[in-house]
Amino acid sequence: MKRLIITISLLLIPISSYAAILEVGAGKTTYPTIQAAVNAAQAGDTVLVYPGIYAEGVFIPDGKAGTSTNPIIIKALYPARKPLDGGAWADTSGKRSIINAAGQAAGIYNNCYCSSSRVGNLIIDGFYITGGTLAAIHFINDYDIWIKNNVAINNGYNQGENYGDYITEWTDNTLIQNNYAEFSAGNVSSTGLYGIDGANTILEYNECHINAGVANSGRCFYVHHDSPNSIFRYNYVHLHNVSETQYGRFRDTTGFVITNNYIRSTTVQNMMVVHENTNTGLIENHTISRNTWVLEQGAGGNGSVLGLGFQNGDQVNYNIFYSGVNDTDSYAMDGGWNQYTGSNNTANGNVWWQWNALFDPALTGFTVTNSINTNPNVNTSTGCAASVDNNTYGANLDVSNIPYQKCDGLTFYPFASKFGIIPDTTPPAPPTLLRVQ
């Protein structure tokens, strides 16, 4: 009788409670491809991918989902980018788990526009992805996705501004953390290497590098109108060899927090623009604070560093706007694409150097206080400023270190909490808890 009771008890335990590790790689005959393992994965399972080259585009089947406490994890044995919390990573090319997505839509993706079979509670961790036609990682109409520690090289070019490397369309509560994106071959077109369209997104500790293409094309961040209450912090953008691209375009929504980012170009460059596409009267209430912009050759003719179009209720505080040349034709801030009107905006404690002025006089609706025209002496290798208090002004972020180090040289930034804008030592929670509170 005791044996019968035990047997019945085991049968009553849901099979999904037994988390499995599904191994993929040379000699792993059960799952010869990443796709085969993903197809078999259930809530709580980990698809563990060993070093090697995988010529495939991994489609996440419609409806494939973990739970809040048992996400599905798809990860490389050695993450392609050094994790924020330390640990082993692919510090040599032989340790990489490489997805060669040539001829495929993307390296890892779900492209269902359906509402009844959404993918969610999923973690993508540590792949090196190249060659995707539309993107490296691409989710449409999904939820609670955590994308971390990946490297994406030359994906999604020539496809227009909705495609690039890390693309989330109508996908809410997403954490895009500690990834690298690079475009270094071909025509970047108007691609956004990080293309965001979803509420409560956090994009933090990422790096973006545009080093090829044609003038006036491409951008690192393209953030769409369905992305309210999203946070962009501790990111490093560097643009070289391609003039008059954009650092980013943030458009048509409310509640952005854009803070502690270090943004640098070695060529003449266009602005980062935060705007409404047309003036629909939104009260944006964006916070744009403690960012450092370094344009070593100034802005495009009669341009700016930060364009603010049709903005209402914004706070633009304690940023550094630095030009390496005396750019008397451009301003640190203007209206962005001739969208100069706004109301109830404030700009406090901003440092500007070698621009015509902090503000284009045509930009209306801003109360400006404590503007400082002084050389902050930004170290372009680290992003740290020698002549102002790094705890108050600019990014306060030493980008020569991954994980990033503070400019005081003493302490490292912890990987951030999902809550608020102040980093703490709490690791991010499972994907379903990524909502900004």
**Predicted pLDDT at 424:** 44
Amino acid 158 reads: N
* The overall pTM is greater than 0.75: yes
Q: What CA–CA distance (Å, rounded) separates 315 from 206?
A: 24
Q: What are the pLDDT digits (tens) for 296-327?
A: 999 987 889 999 999 999 999 999 999 999 99
| Neighbouring residues of 437: CB distance < 8 A, sequence distance ≥ 6 | 419, 420
Which of 170, 248, 175 lies closest to 208, judged by CA? 248
Q: Which residue segment(s) compose the domain that 164 sits in?
A: 34-214
Q: What CA–CA distance (Å, rounded) separates 62 from 314?
A: 39
Tell me the two tokens of residue 75. 């990860």
Instruction: Answer whether residue 179 is part of any domain.
Output: yes
Across all residues in the chain, what is the average pLDDT? 87
Tell me the two tokens of residue 1. 């009788």
Instruction: Answer whether residue 374 is part of any domain.
Output: no
- Could you read off the pLDDT tens digit of each residue along the chain, which spans 437 residues? 333 333 333 333 344 456 899 999 988 888 999 999 999 999 999 999 999 999 999 999 999 999 988 999 999 999 999 998 888 999 999 999 999 999 999 999 998 887 789 999 999 999 999 999 999 999 999 999 999 999 999 998 766 667 789 999 999 999 999 999 998 776 666 567 899 999 999 999 999 998 876 777 778 999 988 999 999 999 999 988 777 778 899 999 999 999 999 999 999 988 999 999 999 999 999 999 999 999 999 998 788 999 999 999 999 999 999 999 999 999 999 999 899 999 999 999 999 999 999 999 999 999 999 999 999 999 999 999 999 999 899 999 999 988 888 998 878 776 554 433 344 444 444 445 443 32
Instruction: Answer whether residue 46 is part of any domain.
Output: yes
Instruction: Answer whether residue 265 is part of any domain.
Output: no
Instruction: Answer whether residue 39 is part of any domain.
Output: yes
Half-sphere exposure of 2 (CA within 13 A, CB side): 0
Domain count, the chain: 1
Q: What CA–CA distance (Å, rounded) separates 369 from 201?
A: 31
Instruction: Answer whether residue 22 is part of any domain.
Output: no
| Neighbouring residues of 281: CB distance < 8 A, sequence distance ≥ 6 | 312
Tell me the two tokens of residue 345. 């905006």
The DSSP bridge pattern shows strands 207-210 and 292-295 to be: unpaired
Instruction: Answer whether residue 393 is part of any domain.
Output: no
| Neighbouring residues of 6: CB distance < 8 A, sequence distance ≥ 6 | none
The answer to whether 320 and 355 are in contact (CB under 8 A) is: no
Output 365-373 pairs: Cβ under 8 A, ≥24 positions apart.
Answer: 365/311, 365/312, 365/341, 366/316, 366/342, 371/347
The answer to whether 319 and 341 are in contact (CB under 8 A) is: no
Tell me the two tokens of residue 268. 């003449």
Instruction: Answer whether residue 199 is part of any domain.
Output: yes
Compute CA 386 distance to the chain's CA centroid, rounded to the nearest angstrom.
Answer: 27
